[in-house]
Structure formats: structure tokens, C-alpha cells
Amino acid sequence: MEVPGLFNYWMAVVLMMAGLYAVIARGNLVKKIVGLGVFQISVFVLYITMGKVKGGTAPILGDGITVYSNPLPHVLILTAIVVGVATTALGLALVVRIRESFGTIEEDELQAIEEGEA
């Protein structure tokens, strides 16, 4: 297996794991959102990478261009980025509201407060 050739894929996996780890292991809600963002970005990398054609240029119609990257994944990821931004924004908005009503954004403290109310 030619590792450098698959470099992007390896990076996608690393980002994915790093993001997921942050989501699971971090108690701070903002850090969770950051982790979620990293996790989503890993998928963007994955898609962009698979659209790449060796020796191809950007998929813009022009003279003499015969080999170009697959534009579809780009379009898809454009959509996914929008979704990701929306998710991050909503997540952060929720964090602000949580901070306002609970006075903390630490998972364990929140849990303790909630158990007191149940």
C-alpha cells in the first residue's frame, strides 16, 4: 500500500477520530461543538479527495482542458458545509442558552443539577 498516495484518506480518518474523541471525552459543551466541527470536516476532506482525478484541474470549462476533477463531490460538500455551519451555530446558540439558565456549560455539573430536579 502506497501510504503517501492515500495521505488524504489517512488524514480524514485522523480528523474523524480526533473529532469524535473530543465529542465524547470533553465535558465542556463548546469543546464538544468544536469536536463535532472537526468530525464533520473530516467528511468534507473525504469527499473532496475522492473527487480528485490524477492530473486533473479544477472543473471549470476552458480551452484545452480535458482532464478535470469530478465536480459533484464539491457541490455536495458545499451543501454539507452549509449544514455544518448551521449545526455549529445552533449548537453554540444552545450553549449560550444553557449557560444563561444553568450558569455552567460543564457536562458533569449540568448532570448533577438535572439529577437534583428529576
Partner 1 sequence: MTLHDHLPALAVVVPLMAAPVIVALRRPTAAWAVAVAVSWACLAISGQLLQSVLANGPFSYLLGGWAAPWGIEYRVDPVDAFVLVIVSAIAAVVSLYAKTSVAKEIDPDRQYLFYAMYVLCLCGLLGMAITGDAFNVFVFLEISSLSTYVLVALGRDRRALTAAFRYLVLGTVGATFYVIGIGLAYMMTGTLNMADMAERLPAVAHTSTVRAALAFLVVGIGLKMAAFPLHLWLPNAYAHAPSVATAFLAGTATKVSVYVLLRIVLGVFGGTGLLTALPLMELLMAMALAGMFVGSAVAIWQPDLKRALAYSSVAQIGYILLGIAFLSETGLAAAIVHLFNHAIMKTALFLALGAIVFRLGSARIEDIAGIGRRMPLTMAAVLVAGLSLIGVPLTVGFVSKWYLVEAAIGAGLWPVAVAILLSSLLAVAYVWRIVEAAWFAKPSDKALAATEAPTALIVPTWAMAGAAVWFGVDATGTMGVARAAAAALLKGVAP
Say whether residue 76 binds partner 1 (CB under 8 A): yes
Say whether residue 61 binds partner 1 (CB under 8 A): no
> In the set 7, 25, 97, 106, which binds partner 1 (CB under 8 A)?
97
> In the set 11, 18, 23, 30, which binds partner 1 (CB under 8 A)?
23
- Nearest by Cα to 53 from 68, 65, 38, 40: 68
C-alpha 6/C-alpha 11 separation (Å) is 9
C-alpha 13/C-alpha 49 separation (Å) is 12
Alpha-carbon torsion 13, 49, 31, 89, what sign? negative
Binding residues for partner 1, rule: CB under 8 A, are 16, 20, 23, 29, 32, 36, 39-40, 43, 46-47, 50, 72-73, 76, 79-80, 83, 86-87, 90-91, 94-95, 97-98, 101-102, 110, 114, 117
